[in-house]
Chains A and B, each alone.
Chain A
């Protein structure tokens, strides 16, 4: 076997996500500047020269206006703090919303705890109802599927979704009775957290 070429590590801008050298063509070069001065001075040597002069003042002014915490500390350590903080926040968010199928960037953290009910038709008049997101409320999925099967007297099974997320498939169209059932059996699930998918759109059940 031939030698493995090592993957090249590319430096991506922490602000806009482009490779650092393309920041100047990115959506907001001005915002990237402070990050670039810190992390990728090689690409934009002209900044360093400027940064001794007026540029840093401007940049630090901007920084202070964007960060909430203001103090007598110099701008540079503050920036260092700010960046990892931002990254950690992002990571937390993505971790939480892996179970959320519809991504809405502006949804707040709590809204992502939701149950999504979808009806899939098979063989024209037979259907399957899938329930996603129950685990977010601390419900044991295997118990839930058993209860559902008993209640509706149909097959209910725990299925691994295409991307390793678990969902419950219940045979038959039970979309409308299921809201009541869920709220009754698991009182900590608010009705407002249950959504249907109709024609590819998310419709709240309540």
Chain B
């Protein structure tokens, strides 16, 4: 999704009003309860919260010029990888095997066999249509953020086709955009 992404895709950025800010903060807190204690540091109430609207109904939540979260239409907020690296435990994790890393890092969606093979790992509780962190065999840090297409049980049972949509991965456009101004 962010394969080609640059400041030119940002069609407008607005400082959002307090009620919207509150809503964003609340939905993030609901989705990532582990993040709640540090939420005040991440999204300080004092500094303005900016929402950058981009093409394809994409919104970026920007604080102090740093993109922290993104979402599509009214979908769930997902952290950027830089944020996830800092707080790795906030999301459910799926692990792909080593062979898949290369493809994931060039933007491919995550296929079921890569998750079910010996190098992969699945959190059984993951349902369909939830944001997940994609880890890799033998690596500490997440390499992508995905949005599951089917539940973990289905991934195991069907073991074919796309299991997780790749939303944001290392070295894509959003990764390279450390600061937005």
Contact = CB atoms under 8 A, between A and B. Distances in A.
Contact of B65 (A2, A5, A21, A163): A163
B86 A18 contact: no
B37 A163 contact: no
Interface residues of A, number: 26
A8 B38 CA distance: 13
A86 interface: no
Nearest to B136: A22
Interface string B141-179: 101000000000000000000000000001100011001
Contacts of A163: 13, 50, 65, 180-181
B4 interface: no
Nearest to B7: A103
A162 B13 contact: yes
Contacts of A162: 13-15, 50
Contacts of A16: 171
A-side interface mostly: loop
A94 B86 CA distance: 23
A3 B37 contact: yes
A10 B171 CA distance: 15
B139 A22 contact: yes
Interface residues of B, number: 32
Nearest to A26: B171
A98 B171 CA distance: 22
A94 B176 CA distance: 13
B119 interface: no
Given A2-B37, A26-B171, A21 B50 contact: no
B13 A5 contact: no
Nearest to A27: B171
Contacts of A25: 101-102, 105
A8 B171 contact: no
A64 B179 CA distance: 32
Contacts of A21: 139-141
Contacts of A2: 36-37
A92 interface: no
A91 to B, nearest CB: 11
A17 B37 contact: no
Nearest to A8: B86
A192 B51 CA distance: 33
Contacts of A7: 38, 86-87
Contact of B87 (A8, A18, A19, A165): A8
A130 B176 CA distance: 29
A58 B170 CA distance: 28
A125 interface: no
A1 interface: yes
A4 interface: yes
A62 B89 CA distance: 40
A1 B37 contact: yes
B85 interface: yes
B117 interface: no
B141 A19 contact: yes
Interface of B: 6-8, 13-15, 34, 36-38, 41, 50, 65, 85-89, 101-102, 105, 139-141, 143, 170-171, 175-176, 179-181
Interface of A: 1-5, 7-10, 16-19, 21-22, 25-27, 94, 98, 102-103, 162-163, 165, 200
Give the 3 A-B residue pairs with the shortest CB-CB distance, closest first.
Answer: A7-B86, A10-B85, A4-B37
